[in-house]
Amino acid sequence: MESFSLILAIVVVTALAFDFTNGFHDTANAMATTISTGALKPKIAVAMSAVLNLVGAFLSVEVANTISKGLVDETGIRPEVIFAALVGAILWNLLTWLIGLPSSSSHALMGGLIGATVASAGVDAVHGDVFVTNILIPAIAAPVVAGIAALLATRLSYSLGSLGKKADGKAAAKGYRAGQIASAGLVSLAHGTNDAQKTMGIITLALVAGDAIAPGSNPPTWVILSAGVAIALGTYLGGWRIIRTMGKGLTDLQPQQGFAAQTSAATVILASSHIGFSLSTTHSVSGAVMGAGLGRKGGVVRWSTATRMFVAWGLTLPAAALVGAVAEWVTGFGNWGTALVAVFLVASSAAIWRRSRHEVVDHTNVNDTSVSDTTQEPPGVVTTAIAAVTPPPAGTVTDELSATLPAPAPASEPAPSQATL
């Protein structure tokens, strides 16, 4: 690899860190319903999802190519821009994980990329029509479609049950268990092909921007390999906070509903990616879970949790874009600016991680319901989100660093955060 500069190495490492956060952020998509209905033990579920994510990463490079070859004008992009974009995306992912909300990792990534690109090259460098048709529309459509499909499927499943075709007893429990595992497996596999590829696309874009490979190239093998491994590791770690929200927080799922939700999500994800949309797995699964919740007679959707989730979705893109733009602006000061952003990223990741230790959620208490809904007030969460994710526009850049850290984490500390791998 000739001309593999330091900044390029930093970008690659950061991209893999993002991939890792993406993995543990999105474990919930595949496994939340499976875990909450008890079809699989939590640890086994995340292990299975991790393996399938890894396998999925090797299956195709289609999505990677739409990222590295379409969304932004690659001629005007420097590696620093991509670095800044990743900073925005990682921080948003960690923050939403901290408050246990499922949000789209892809939107975080796109937002970061758009913000950094605009800060660097102006509004014209973002292809607006690609943005609307490939991101915005599917983002709204995915949960609606998945929700309606899951709702109808759940209804049907219950009414078939009441028409005398009784589905109960051991055989039924076993059947729904197998069905859930199969559809969760499909979602994991699809997630690997979709999301691991997003990182591949980003690394490829950085390599193109840093003149390490020719424009229009496919991702090199080592990129595919490392992206697959990073996302699998993240998945195995398990974003238990988000799994709890999705599996228990939004609604209470019975095995039949879990099966309907997961099948609907898998179908929507596959159908839309086959037709060429870049779509959020998170949005489809959340929509499907809510649809399944509404489909059962007497089923409830906890709208306060759902509303918080919608707010997080709406904020994802602009918040990541803002951080991306500010980070890009700081890197513009030269090497020390880039270093500063890197330190800021590590320090805030460490702070968020430390914060999460106050109330640990892991495979042992992921199905506890008592904590999920009452501990956090909606406005509080949103305000914290905004406050913590937005670096204040401080006069000098050194001030910004010390002013933004929510916990006393000195910048000089090595900060062995899980997110920086």
Partner 1 sequence: MKIDWAALGSVFGVSLVVTVALVALFTLGVAGLSRRERALAQGDSAALAVTGAYACFTACAAAVGYGIYLIMA
How many Cα atoms sit within 13 Å of 318 on the Cβ side?
A: 7
Helix (H) or strand (E) holding 50: helix 42-57
Site for partner 1 in 273-302 (CB under 8 A): 273-277
301: β partners: 251
- Counting contacts by CB under 8 A, is residue 266 touching partner 1? yes
179 versus 219: smaller Cβ distance to partner 1 = 179
Show the site string, 161-200: x = touches partner 1 by CB under 8 A, - = not: x---xxxxxxxx-xxx--x--xx--x--xx--x-------
Of 138 and 249, nearer to partner 1 (C-beta) is 138
Tokens 């602009």, residue located: 318
Closest CA to 322 of 89, 78, 10: 89
Q: Is 256 a residue that touches partner 1 (CB under 8 A)?
A: yes
Per-residue binding letters, 99-118, with partner 1 (x by CB under 8 A): --------------------
Among 22, 68, 96, 154, binds partner 1 (CB under 8 A): 154
DSSP run (H or E) holding 410: none
User: Cα–Cα distances in Å, from 232 out to 22, 310, 314?
Assistant: 10, 27, 27
Distance (Å, rounded) from C-alpha 53 to C-alpha 272? Answer: 19
225 binds partner 1 (CB under 8 A): no
What's the min distance (Å) between Cβ of 273 and partner 1?
8
Q: Which stretch binds partner 1 (CB under 8 A): 151-159, 201-209, 348-356, 372-380?
A: 151-159
In a 3-state reduction of DSSP, which class is residue 250?
coil
Give the Cα separation of 275 and 295 in Å (integer).
Answer: 27
| Residue whose CB is less far from partner 1, 296 or 302 | 296
Cα separation, 281 vs 412, in Å, equals 37
What six digits make up the tokens of 181?
């595992």
What is the identity of the amino acid at 197? Q
Give the interface segment with partner 1, choosing from 35-43, 260-268, 354-362, 395-403 (CB under 8 A). 260-268
Nearer to partner 1 among residue 270 and residue 405 (C-beta): 270
Is residue 72 helix, strand or coil? strand
The dihedral through the CA atoms of 349, 312, 134, 122 has a sign that is negative
- The answer to whether residue 129 forms part of the interface with partner 1 (CB under 8 A) is yes
**Minimum separation from the CB atom of position 152 to partner 1 (A):** 5
270 binds partner 1 (CB under 8 A): yes
Element (H, E) at 81: helix 79-98
* Tokens encoding 323: 């951080």
Single residue of 4, 9, 41, 128 touching partner 1 by CB under 8 A: 128
Site for partner 1 (CB under 8 A): which residue of 1, 6, 9, 156? 156
- Least CB distance to partner 1 at residue 225 (A): 18
Q: CB–CB of 102/309 below 8 Å?
A: yes
Q: Are 400 and 391 in contact (CB under 8 A)?
A: yes
CB of 189 to partner 1, least distance (A): 6
CB 312 within 8 A of CB 103: yes
Say whether residue 9 binds partner 1 (CB under 8 A).
Answer: no
Specify the stretch interacting with partner 1 by CB under 8 A; choose among 31-39, 218-226, 267-275, 318-326.
Answer: 267-275
User: Token match 């952003």: residue?
Assistant: 341
Count the residues of the shown chain that bind partner 1, applying the rule CB under 8 A: 56
Residue linked to tokens 């850290």: 405
Residues shown for the chain: 421
Segment contacting partner 1 (CB under 8 A): 93-101, 129-137, 297-305, 364-372? 129-137
Among 43, 44, 51, 60, binds partner 1 (CB under 8 A): 60
How far is the C-alpha of 325 from the C-alpha of 121, rounded, in Å?
Answer: 11
Find the binder of partner 1 among 1, 6, 271, 387 (CB under 8 A).
Answer: 271
Q: Which residues bind partner 1 (CB under 8 A)?
A: 56, 59-60, 128-129, 132-133, 137-138, 141, 145-146, 148-150, 152-154, 156-157, 160-161, 165-172, 174-176, 179, 182-183, 186, 189-190, 193, 256, 259-260, 263-264, 266-268, 270-277
